[in-house]
Structure 1
Amino acid sequence: MLTAIIMAGGSGERFWPLSTPERPKQLLKIFSDKTMIRETVDRILPIIEAENIFIATNIIQAKEIEKELSDIPKENIIIEPAFKDTAAAIGYSSLIIENRFKNRLKDGEKLEVVVLASDHLIKEEEEFRKVILIASKEAKENGMIVTLGIKPDKPETGYGYIEVKDDEIELNSICKVKRFREKPSQELAESYLASGKYLWNSGMFIFTTDTIFKNFEVLMEEHSSVFKEIEKEFKENLTGEELSNKVKKYFDKFEKISIDFGIMEYSKNIRVIPVDIGWNDIGSFNAFDEIFEKDENGNVVRGKEIRELDSRNNIVISDDLNISLLGIENLVIVKDKNNLLISKKNRVQDIKKILKLRKGIL
């Protein structure tokens, strides 16, 4: 049985002022008339039924997500009581899925779980679904945790990398993983690209619940113990906020660690499928340069039209303000309601610092 966990607990900081904690990037309509989380759900509905799709989020965003995804059962909105990173989030959500469906499985049937981000862009949707089914088969038949590796087209320093053991990388094939690599320097990223043996780490995973919990037992024993404590609370059949309140005391015991550091880098059961699916994680406003059409001066304009003179390679987003550019280059200008952001392109990763400054933290 194929199920999905869509990770939707982002804080909305990197896309301020468009996004806020209550309405983060996944709830924005950036590329179409649909929110990014709606696009994510629609992308997998042809292969996974709505009742088998779960959304992992937090109490701040739960109500908006519930409204946005009215076709997803309310009890499938998983509210994490605290942010303890992806190892706890994925393990906890997998535990809920296993508890929900374990008595419905036929003899020999396994529960496969597809873990997806709620705010990624994937242009080649049919190809994506084809690869998910290949990964699901590998996870079910061979007990592997399968991740999707994006074929790089440039020396990107903002992504982690996966080094493949195979001499040649063949798209949509099952490959052995040599090791995971952290975000590289420019020079190292160029060498990765030239070697042809490295893929971008997309953060998408496919596994069976049996496999993931065996890996937790071996590699993250403390997490595994907490999951067993949490499982005892399922006998009351609580969901949503009631379940979140009930298990909060257990979440406090989790070490804050990602599943990449906790399992993926050490497990012997990892495989990667190289893909070319038009993927972008939309990690910052600079992604607009890659996604949207530019004018004759290299400017990306969304919303109101702008007037420009001797201005090049800017990203301008405005909800209701006419903006004039004069002699400026490589800026990001974002106007939303009462907030205006003006940043150099090479500083947009520091937007979080601006928010801290506004809160008086810095």
Structure 2
Amino acid sequence: MLTAVIMAGGSGERFWPLSTPEKPKQLLSLFSDKSMIRETVDRILPIIEKDKIFIATNILQAKEIKKELFDIPEENIIIEPLFKDTAAAIGYTSLIIEERFKNMDEKIEVIVLASDHLIRNDKVFREIILKGAKEVRENSTIVTLGIKPDKPETGYGYIEVGVNEEIVLDDIYKVRRFREKPNKETAEQYVASGKYLWNSGMFLFTTETIFKNFEVLMPEHTEIFNEIKKEVSKRLIGEELSNSVKRLFEKFEKISIDFGIMEYSKNIKVIPVSIGWNDIGSFTALSEVFESDQEGNIVKDTNIILHEASNNIVIAEDCIISLLGVKNLIVIKNGDNILISHKERAQDIKKIVVKYNELKRRIDE
């Protein structure tokens, strides 16, 4: 039985000021008239029933997510009481899924998805999910989706595939090891070798397999899950369940499932895919998605005056933006907040958010 966990607890700080804690990137409509989380759900609805789609989020975003995903059962909106990274979040949600369907006489497969990725080839994506689900069900493996790289990208982690021959799309391979985000020279070597894939962060497992991996690789998490299981068995939902497990969540070490399990598990496989994927990690990723004008400018949702301006990204509403003699800038307006950044500093927008929050606190005081 195939289920899905959509991770929707991030604040999307690299997309500030469009993205805010109350309305983060996954709730923005960047590429169509649908929000990114709505697109994520619609992408899997043909193969996963609504009552088997779960959303892992937090109290700040739960209300807007319920409103956006009105067709998903309210009890499937899982509110994490504290942010303890993805190992705790995925294990916790898997406990809830297992409890919900424990009387079903079949294995429970889980696909973990981000709520804010762009995937252009939905049909192939769904075919790969079903292929991965069959693999994890029959062979008790964890399967991750690896993106075939088209350039030496330094912003992604990589998956090394243990093969000597050319990697074939949509086949299933043993993972040799995971590699952290490389520098440019190393990324060029990875791509040239033909043995590396981008780590998409999407993966499948059965609940039985993931908890066996937790037992071996993260025994401290397993002890806490056993305590949480007692609360989950009471069939509480939403904020009530979140409040009941908060004291237990405080015990979790803050660690990602990548560092806790994926990099150490002995039975992980990967399916190389080409599905038009982009994780839209920062504003500069929009250059790979939207068409630009003759001068390389990308302009969205605004009226603009350009003179000797090139390679800029501009998003604003209810105003006129004028650019004169500048290039490689990011210009974003949302309400009263305006961001102007050089493209090369797009990954550092988080630092501005910290200072912005400090300024707001001082003003409020």
2:120 corresponds in structure 1 to 123
Q: 1:139-288 to 2 correspondence within 5 Å?
A: 139-167=136-164, 168-288=166-286
Say whether residues 1:304 and 2:284 are aligned partners. Answer: no
1:74 corresponds in structure 2 to 74
Counterpart of 1:42, as a letter, is D
Say whether residues 1:294 and 2:287 are aligned partners. Answer: no
Counterpart of 1:47, as a letter, is I
In the TM superposition, residue 122 of structure 1 has moved relative to its aligned partner by 0.1
Counterpart of 2:64, as a letter, is E
2:37 corresponds in structure 1 to 37
**8 A Cα contact 2:111 2:205, kept in partner:** yes
Aligned-partner Cα distance in 2 for 1:351–1:70: 32
Say whether residues 1:343 and 2:351 are aligned partners. Answer: no
**8 A Cα contact 1:6 1:116, kept in partner:** yes
Aligned-partner Cα distance in 2 for 1:161–1:53: 28
Q: Secondary structure at the match of 1:115?
A: strand
Q: How well do the aligned residues superpose, as a CA RMSD in angstroms? A: 1.0
Aligned-partner Cα distance in 2 for 1:206–1:235: 24
Say whether residues 1:110 and 2:85 are aligned partners. Answer: no
Q: Secondary structure at the match of 2:94?
A: helix
Query: Structure 2, unaligned stretches of length 5 or more?
Result: 360-365
Say whether residues 1:15 and 2:11 are aligned partners. Answer: no
Aligned-partner Cα distance in 2 for 1:135–1:332: 39
In the TM superposition, residue 51 of structure 1 has moved relative to its aligned partner by 0.4
Aligned-partner Cα distance in 2 for 1:291–1:305: 20
2:46 corresponds in structure 1 to 46
**8 A Cα contact 2:159 2:178, kept in partner:** yes
**8 A Cα contact 2:85 2:256, kept in partner:** yes
Q: Secondary structure at the match of 2:13?
A: coil
Q: Secondary structure at the match of 2:38?
A: helix
**8 A Cα contact 1:12 1:23, kept in partner:** no
Counterpart of 2:317, as a letter, is D
Q: Deviations over 1:307-350 (max 9, x none)?
A: 11111110011111111111111000001111110000010111
Q: Secondary structure at the match of 1:329?
A: coil
In the TM superposition, residue 359 of structure 1 has moved relative to its aligned partner by 2.6
**8 A Cα contact 1:136 1:206, kept in partner:** yes
Pick aligned residue for 2:323 from 306, 322, 325: 325
Q: Secondary structure at the match of 1:223?
A: helix
2:363 corresponds in structure 1 to none
- State the 4+ residue runs in structure 1 displaced beyond 6 angstroms: none
Aligned-partner Cα distance in 2 for 1:324–1:233: 56
Counterpart of 1:43, as a letter, is R
TM-score by length of 1: 0.98
Q: Which moved more, 1:23-32 or 1:317-326?
A: 317-326
Aligned-partner Cα distance in 2 for 1:70–1:248: 26
1:360 corresponds in structure 2 to 358
% same residue: 70
Query: Structure 1, unaligned stretches of length 5 or more?
Result: none
